[in-house]
Amino acid sequence: MANTPQAKKRARQNEARFAVNKMRRSRIRTYLRFVEEAIASGDKDAATAALKAAQPELMRGVTKGVVHKNTAARKISRLASRVKAIA
């Protein structure tokens, strides 16, 4: 348990950041789920629209430090290739 005032403040700040980051991660996963569902349904237009909505959300996670840059790039790349493969 934190004893010094600085450590107590750091613990409070960490809790606040954890809550914000958790919301951001959840939001990103929701958008990715929308893309996955559109791909599963086989609707190319819906999948394309969902991917276009998910891309900025994922990259926002990169700038905020929630997701690593290469992880986001990999996810977008793999989703884009799957959307493109829909007949």
Provide, rounded to the nearest whole percent, the portion of the chain with pLDDT above 70: 100
What confidence score (pLDDT) does residue 30 get?
Answer: 97
Q: Are the beta carbons of 61 and 28 closer than 8 angstroms?
A: yes
| Residues 57, 66, 76: CA angle, nearest 5 degrees | 45
Q: What is the extent of the structural domain holding 80?
A: 5-84
Give pTM, 2 decimals: 0.87
Task: Tell me what the mean pLDDT of segment 60-76 comes to.
Answer: 97
26-65 pLDDT per residue, tens: 999 999 999 999 999 999 999 999 999 999 999 999 999 9
Structurally, the chain folds into a number of domains equal to: 1
Q: 44 near 86, Cβ under 8 Å?
A: yes
The domain that holds 63 is classified in CATH as: 1.20.58.110
